[in-house]
A = this chain, B = another copy of it.
Amino acid sequence: MTRGRIGEFIERFRSLKQRVLLKWFGEAFPKIDDPNIRIQQWFPQLGILAHRNTKVFVMHGGLQSMFEAVNFGVPMVGVPIFGDQNKNVKVLVSKGMGIELSKKNFTAESLMWAINEVESNPRYIEAVLKQSAILKDVPMRHLDEAIYWIEYVIRHGKVLQPASVHMPFYQVYLLDVLSFIITAIVILYLILIRAVRALRIVLRKQKKKVE
């Protein structure tokens, strides 16, 4: 983002009644004398999401961040950059937990609109609280479950092993499948070569006949 463009965003942030915490990658981040805007290279994200005054989370659609926001019931504005982020933001939009802003459409104006929409329209917070309740509704606490299955293996010995433990290395690395495929290709290639040669000879003979 150019320095001019970030200035545009900062101007808009000033007009917001909410405080803005801006995570800024890169060394030199702009100096802003505004008690409502705070720019840092790193924030304690989990703690901020857990805070009851946190209203909107603008994020790039990382799965970890999404789970953290859902856990604490914070609606989102997702701006996917690459990879699985597109899919994650599609999911969050389909569940009604926020809004997607495409990278191409990411302007100070569109961001302001999205933040205001997500903050003022109660349907986003309602949806994220519903998903939060589903996420937290588990038959066992996660730590207890992890401990249970670790102790399960300790109790019973050779259980919950992947099938690869009992396979020779050439099966694990699919060398047997690979060698079959290579052999098949080589044989097909040889057959093809011979067929083409045979066809050529036949055609040459026919040509001579015709002449």
B-contacting residues of A (Cβ < 8 Å)?
130, 133-134, 137, 139-140, 145, 148-149, 152, 155-156, 159, 206, 209-210
Contact = CB atoms under 8 A, between A and B. Distances in A.
6 contacts: A133-B155, A134-B156, A137-B152, A139-B149, A206-B210, A209-B210
A146 to B, nearest CB: 11
B139 A148 contact: yes
A25 B86 CA distance: 62
Contacts of A155: 133, 137
Contacts of A148: 139
For the complex formed by this chain, how many copies does it contain in all? 2
Contacts of A206: 206, 210
The 5 closest A-B pairs by CB, nearest first: A139-B148, A134-B156, A139-B140, A209-B210, A137-B152
A209 B209 CA distance: 10
Nearest to A160: B134
Contacts of A209: 210
Pick the most buried of A137, A149, A159, A206: most chain B CB atoms within 10 A of its CB.
Answer: A137
Nearest to A149: B139
Given A139-B140, A210-B209, A210-B210, A133 B145 contact: no
A65 to B, nearest CB: 23
B134 A159 contact: yes
Contacts of A156: 130, 133-134, 137
